[in-house]
Amino acid sequence: LRDYLYIPLGGNRGSHWTLSRNLMCTMLLGGLWHGAAWTFVIWGAYQGTLLLVQRMLHPFLNRYALFRNPLLQIFVTFQLMALGWLIFRVQSLSQLMNMLENLNLGWEWVAIRPYGQVLVYMLPLLVIQIIQMRSKRLEIFQSLPFYGQAILAAILGYGLFVYGALVAQQFIYFQF
């Protein structure tokens, strides 16, 4: 996308509006590249909007320590990307609207199975990431003692067993 769309459109050369146009066009066309459906166009627009909002808010938010917190940044990014993948995966606009209307954003989230799945996978990875940030070392998993590696592997294996898909899903790009 960068080499064949963004840079030929002008990249980040020019005014703020030129850069914004180039980002949005690139992401819209990237969405269309995935398929000729409105859901892909919306997904591309969503991704482009996230990029523009991030560029616009970054100087303001960077002034405050709270918004420079890597854990908060990881959490917000994960939430926004999860919503993006929902948009990407739906088959129709009506299905997207139905799913968005039925999102349960209250405190009852603990009892809902999909959130359990997210927690089972996210917590071990989040723990590793916190350790990596604090120790400034990336190869944390390999440096854990055997029992630490076994515990993490067991948690992830449990998550696969309990929350894994029971029906095989066809790879999305085989559709094209």
Q: How many CB atoms lie within 10 A of CB 67?
A: 14
Catalytic residue among 25, 30, 34, 155: 34
34 catalytic, yes or no?
yes
| CA distances to 2, 11, 47, 53, 144 from 153, in Å | 37, 43, 33, 37, 12
Letter for the amino acid at 136?
Answer: K
Distance CA 50, CA 69 (A): 19
Q: Give the residue numbers marked as catalytic.
A: 34
